[in-house]
Chains A and B, each alone.
Chain A
Protein backbone atom coordinates (compact mmCIF):
# COMPACT_ATOMS: atom_id res chain seq x y z
CA UNK A 1 0.00 0.00 0.00
CA UNK A 2 1.37 3.43 -0.95
CA UNK A 3 2.34 5.64 1.95
CA UNK A 4 4.01 9.03 1.59
CA UNK A 5 5.59 9.98 -1.72
CA UNK A 6 8.94 10.20 0.05
CA UNK A 7 10.56 6.92 1.09
CA UNK A 8 13.65 6.70 3.26
CA UNK A 9 16.19 4.23 4.59
CA UNK A 10 16.69 5.77 8.01
CA UNK A 11 16.14 2.49 9.86
CA UNK A 12 18.78 0.70 7.74
CA UNK A 13 21.24 3.59 8.17
CA UNK A 14 20.75 3.61 11.94
CA UNK A 15 21.73 -0.04 12.12
CA UNK A 16 24.71 0.56 9.85
CA UNK A 17 25.86 3.29 12.23
CA UNK A 18 26.47 1.17 15.28
CA UNK A 19 22.80 0.40 15.86
CA UNK A 20 22.08 3.99 16.68
CA UNK A 21 18.86 4.22 18.70
CA UNK A 22 15.85 6.25 17.62
CA UNK A 23 16.27 8.35 20.76
CA UNK A 24 19.89 9.14 19.93
CA UNK A 25 19.04 10.12 16.35
CA UNK A 26 16.14 12.24 17.62
CA UNK A 27 18.45 14.08 20.01
CA UNK A 28 21.07 14.65 17.32
CA UNK A 29 18.65 16.12 14.80
CA UNK A 30 16.48 17.99 17.35
CA UNK A 31 13.14 16.23 17.13
CA UNK A 32 11.13 13.77 19.23
CA UNK A 33 11.45 9.99 19.10
CA UNK A 34 7.84 9.83 17.88
CA UNK A 35 8.85 11.86 14.82
CA UNK A 36 11.70 9.43 14.03
CA UNK A 37 9.31 6.47 14.33
CA UNK A 38 6.69 7.95 12.00
CA UNK A 39 9.45 8.99 9.59
CA UNK A 40 10.79 5.43 9.46
CA UNK A 41 7.28 4.15 8.74
CA UNK A 42 6.95 6.67 5.90
CA UNK A 43 4.12 8.36 7.78
CA UNK A 44 5.65 11.80 7.92
CA UNK A 45 7.33 13.92 5.27
CA UNK A 46 10.04 15.97 6.97
CA UNK A 47 10.96 19.56 6.16
CA UNK A 48 14.05 20.06 4.03
CA UNK A 49 15.96 21.29 7.06
CA UNK A 50 15.20 18.13 9.07
CA UNK A 51 15.94 15.93 6.06
CA UNK A 52 19.35 17.60 5.65
CA UNK A 53 20.11 17.23 9.37
CA UNK A 54 19.29 13.50 9.22
CA UNK A 55 21.41 13.00 6.09
CA UNK A 56 24.29 14.86 7.74
CA UNK A 57 24.19 12.59 10.81
CA UNK A 58 24.76 9.59 8.51
CA UNK A 59 27.28 11.51 6.31
CA UNK A 60 25.10 10.84 3.26
CA UNK A 61 23.56 13.03 0.60
CA UNK A 62 19.88 13.83 0.82
CA UNK A 63 19.00 11.50 -2.05
CA UNK A 64 20.86 8.60 -0.48
CA UNK A 65 18.56 8.87 2.55
CA UNK A 66 15.28 10.03 0.98
CA UNK A 67 13.81 8.85 -2.31
CA UNK A 68 10.96 10.54 -4.15
CA UNK A 69 8.40 7.93 -5.23
CA UNK A 70 5.80 10.22 -6.77
CA UNK A 71 4.96 10.46 -10.46
CA UNK A 72 7.30 12.36 -12.77
CA UNK A 73 5.76 15.58 -14.14
CA UNK A 74 4.69 15.12 -17.77
CA UNK A 75 5.86 17.37 -20.60
Chain B
Protein backbone atom coordinates (compact mmCIF):
# COMPACT_ATOMS: atom_id res chain seq x y z
CA UNK B 1 0.00 0.00 0.00
CA UNK B 2 1.30 3.45 -0.92
CA UNK B 3 1.94 5.46 2.26
CA UNK B 4 0.93 8.66 0.42
CA UNK B 5 -2.65 7.33 0.40
CA UNK B 6 -2.65 7.30 4.18
CA UNK B 7 -2.09 11.04 4.58
CA UNK B 8 -5.61 12.16 3.68
CA UNK B 9 -7.35 9.97 6.31
CA UNK B 10 -4.65 10.87 8.85
CA UNK B 11 -5.19 14.58 8.17
CA UNK B 12 -8.96 14.16 8.42
CA UNK B 13 -8.65 12.21 11.67
CA UNK B 14 -6.27 14.78 13.12
CA UNK B 15 -8.57 17.63 12.10
CA UNK B 16 -11.57 15.86 13.65
CA UNK B 17 -9.53 15.26 16.80
CA UNK B 18 -8.71 18.97 17.07
CA UNK B 19 -12.37 19.95 16.60
CA UNK B 20 -13.46 17.42 19.27
CA UNK B 21 -10.73 18.67 21.62
CA UNK B 22 -12.00 22.25 21.09
CA UNK B 23 -15.58 21.20 21.86
CA UNK B 24 -14.42 19.36 25.01
CA UNK B 25 -12.42 22.43 26.10
CA UNK B 26 -15.47 24.70 25.77
CA UNK B 27 -17.66 22.12 27.54
CA UNK B 28 -15.18 21.86 30.41
CA UNK B 29 -15.20 25.66 30.76
CA UNK B 30 -19.01 25.79 30.92
CA UNK B 31 -19.67 22.48 32.74
CA UNK B 32 -20.04 22.74 36.48
CA UNK B 33 -21.25 26.29 36.24
CA UNK B 34 -24.64 27.39 37.45
CA UNK B 35 -27.71 27.41 35.20
CA UNK B 36 -27.65 30.14 32.54
CA UNK B 37 -28.42 33.59 33.91
CA UNK B 38 -31.79 35.18 33.23
CA UNK B 39 -32.00 38.19 30.86
CA UNK B 40 -32.76 40.42 33.89
CA UNK B 41 -29.60 39.25 35.69
CA UNK B 42 -27.52 39.73 32.54
CA UNK B 43 -28.84 43.24 31.94
CA UNK B 44 -28.22 44.20 35.58
CA UNK B 45 -24.61 43.01 35.44
CA UNK B 46 -24.12 44.59 32.01
CA UNK B 47 -25.35 47.95 33.33
CA UNK B 48 -22.67 47.98 36.07
CA UNK B 49 -19.37 49.76 35.58
CA UNK B 50 -16.58 47.48 34.39
CA UNK B 51 -14.15 46.17 36.99
CA UNK B 52 -10.59 47.50 36.91
CA UNK B 53 -9.34 44.21 35.50
CA UNK B 54 -12.01 44.24 32.77
CA UNK B 55 -11.00 47.76 31.65
CA UNK B 56 -7.33 46.78 31.60
CA UNK B 57 -8.09 43.64 29.60
CA UNK B 58 -9.97 45.71 26.97
CA UNK B 59 -6.95 48.01 26.66
CA UNK B 60 -4.60 45.02 26.38
CA UNK B 61 -6.75 43.37 23.74
CA UNK B 62 -7.29 46.55 21.72
CA UNK B 63 -3.63 47.58 21.62
CA UNK B 64 -2.50 43.96 21.13
CA UNK B 65 -4.77 43.41 18.14
CA UNK B 66 -3.73 46.75 16.62
CA UNK B 67 -0.05 45.75 16.92
CA UNK B 68 -0.75 42.30 15.42
CA UNK B 69 -2.54 43.95 12.49
CA UNK B 70 0.43 46.31 12.01
CA UNK B 71 2.91 43.38 12.01
CA UNK B 72 0.83 41.40 9.51
CA UNK B 73 0.50 44.46 7.26
CA UNK B 74 4.27 45.16 7.27
CA UNK B 75 5.21 41.52 6.57
CA UNK B 76 2.47 40.95 3.98
CA UNK B 77 3.36 44.15 2.06
CA UNK B 78 7.06 43.33 1.94
CA UNK B 79 6.67 39.58 1.46
CA UNK B 80 8.38 37.10 3.79
CA UNK B 81 11.61 36.81 1.77
CA UNK B 82 12.17 40.61 1.64
CA UNK B 83 11.23 40.78 5.31
CA UNK B 84 13.89 38.22 6.30
CA UNK B 85 16.60 40.11 4.36
CA UNK B 86 15.63 43.61 5.51
CA UNK B 87 16.98 44.47 8.96
CA UNK B 88 14.96 47.70 9.13
CA UNK B 89 11.68 45.88 8.53
CA UNK B 90 12.54 43.28 11.16
CA UNK B 91 13.30 46.08 13.60
CA UNK B 92 9.91 47.70 12.92
CA UNK B 93 8.09 44.42 13.54
CA UNK B 94 10.14 43.83 16.70
CA UNK B 95 9.12 47.33 17.88
CA UNK B 96 5.43 46.45 17.40
CA UNK B 97 5.94 43.23 19.38
CA UNK B 98 7.69 45.11 22.19
CA UNK B 99 4.81 47.62 22.35
CA UNK B 100 2.42 44.66 22.72
CA UNK B 101 4.56 43.18 25.49
CA UNK B 102 4.98 46.52 27.28
CA UNK B 103 1.22 47.16 27.11
CA UNK B 104 0.57 43.72 28.56
CA UNK B 105 3.04 44.29 31.39
CA UNK B 106 1.49 47.67 32.21
CA UNK B 107 -2.19 46.76 31.94
CA UNK B 108 -2.41 43.18 33.20
CA UNK B 109 0.58 42.18 35.29
CA UNK B 110 0.50 44.87 38.04
CA UNK B 111 -3.16 44.16 38.74
CA UNK B 112 -2.10 41.71 41.43
CA UNK B 113 -0.42 44.48 43.38
CA UNK B 114 -2.19 46.52 45.98
CA UNK B 115 -2.84 50.22 45.54
CA UNK B 116 -2.68 52.33 48.68
CA UNK B 117 -2.88 49.25 50.88
CA UNK B 118 -6.03 48.00 49.11
CA UNK B 119 -5.88 45.14 46.63
CA UNK B 120 -6.81 46.12 43.08
CA UNK B 121 -8.32 42.68 42.41
CA UNK B 122 -11.07 41.01 44.38
CA UNK B 123 -11.57 37.24 44.58
CA UNK B 124 -13.93 37.12 41.58
CA UNK B 125 -11.35 38.97 39.46
CA UNK B 126 -8.69 36.52 40.61
CA UNK B 127 -10.92 33.60 39.63
CA UNK B 128 -11.41 35.06 36.13
CA UNK B 129 -7.66 35.76 35.84
CA UNK B 130 -6.82 32.18 36.90
CA UNK B 131 -8.94 30.77 34.04
CA UNK B 132 -7.36 32.93 31.31
CA UNK B 133 -4.41 30.53 30.70
CA UNK B 134 -6.88 28.03 29.15
CA UNK B 135 -7.40 30.52 26.33
CA UNK B 136 -3.65 31.21 26.09
CA UNK B 137 -2.95 27.49 25.65
CA UNK B 138 -5.57 27.22 22.91
CA UNK B 139 -4.22 30.34 21.16
CA UNK B 140 -0.68 28.94 21.16
CA UNK B 141 -1.86 25.62 19.74
CA UNK B 142 -3.98 27.26 17.04
CA UNK B 143 -1.10 29.55 16.00
CA UNK B 144 1.33 26.64 15.63
CA UNK B 145 -1.29 24.58 13.76
CA UNK B 146 -1.99 27.51 11.38
CA UNK B 147 1.73 27.94 10.65
CA UNK B 148 2.29 24.23 10.03
CA UNK B 149 -0.66 23.99 7.64
CA UNK B 150 0.26 27.23 5.80
CA UNK B 151 3.96 26.36 5.45
CA UNK B 152 3.31 22.74 4.46
CA UNK B 153 0.91 23.82 1.72
CA UNK B 154 3.07 26.74 0.51
CA UNK B 155 6.32 24.77 0.33
CA UNK B 156 4.94 21.42 -0.85
CA UNK B 157 7.49 19.88 -3.23
CA UNK B 158 10.20 22.39 -2.22
CA UNK B 159 13.46 21.06 -0.72
CA UNK B 160 12.98 23.12 2.47
CA UNK B 161 11.35 26.02 4.26
CA UNK B 162 13.34 29.28 4.75
CA UNK B 163 14.86 29.30 8.24
CA UNK B 164 13.61 32.86 8.76
CA UNK B 165 10.18 31.43 9.44
CA UNK B 166 11.48 29.96 12.69
CA UNK B 167 11.74 33.37 14.35
CA UNK B 168 8.43 34.44 12.81
CA UNK B 169 6.72 31.36 14.28
CA UNK B 170 8.27 32.05 17.69
CA UNK B 171 7.23 35.70 17.77
CA UNK B 172 3.73 34.98 16.49
CA UNK B 173 3.15 32.37 19.26
CA UNK B 174 4.59 34.84 21.79
CA UNK B 175 2.24 37.63 20.67
CA UNK B 176 -0.74 35.24 20.45
CA UNK B 177 -0.14 34.24 24.09
CA UNK B 178 -0.01 37.88 25.20
CA UNK B 179 -3.16 38.94 23.34
CA UNK B 180 -4.99 35.75 24.38
CA UNK B 181 -4.36 36.59 28.05
CA UNK B 182 -6.51 39.72 27.70
CA UNK B 183 -8.99 37.80 25.56
CA UNK B 184 -9.17 35.04 28.18
CA UNK B 185 -9.95 37.54 30.93
CA UNK B 186 -12.77 39.09 28.87
CA UNK B 187 -14.09 35.63 27.97
CA UNK B 188 -14.07 34.79 31.68
CA UNK B 189 -16.27 37.80 32.48
CA UNK B 190 -18.57 36.92 29.56
CA UNK B 191 -18.92 33.32 30.79
CA UNK B 192 -19.55 34.55 34.33
CA UNK B 193 -22.27 36.88 33.04
CA UNK B 194 -24.01 34.22 30.92
CA UNK B 195 -23.38 30.99 32.85
CA UNK B 196 -22.93 32.04 36.46
CA UNK B 197 -19.74 31.38 38.35
CA UNK B 198 -19.80 27.66 39.14
Q: Which of A's residues lie within 8 Å of B, judged by CB?
A: 1-4, 30-35, 37-38, 41, 43-47, 50
Contacts and interface: CB of A to CB of B under 8 A. Distances in A.
A47 B125 CA distance: 13
Contact of B41 (A41, A46, A47): A41
Interface residues of B, number: 19
Given A34-B45, A37-B48, A43-B196, A2 B124 contact: no
Interface in B84-138: 118-119, 122-125
Nearest to B36: A1
Nearest to B44: A37
A47 B119 CA distance: 15
B197 A44 contact: yes
Interface string B180-198: 0000000000001000110
Contacts of B196: 3-4, 38, 43-44
A35 B124 contact: yes
A38 B195 CA distance: 11
A34 B123 contact: no
B51 A32 contact: yes
Contacts of B48: 33-34, 37
B162 interface: no
A34 B119 contact: no
Contact of A43 (B34, B119, B125): B34
Interface in B48-105: 48-49, 51-52
Contact of A45 (B52, B122, B197): B197
A45 B32 CA distance: 13
A43 B197 contact: yes
B37 interface: yes
Contacts of A2: 35
Contacts of A32: 51-52, 122, 124-125
Contacts of A50: 122-123
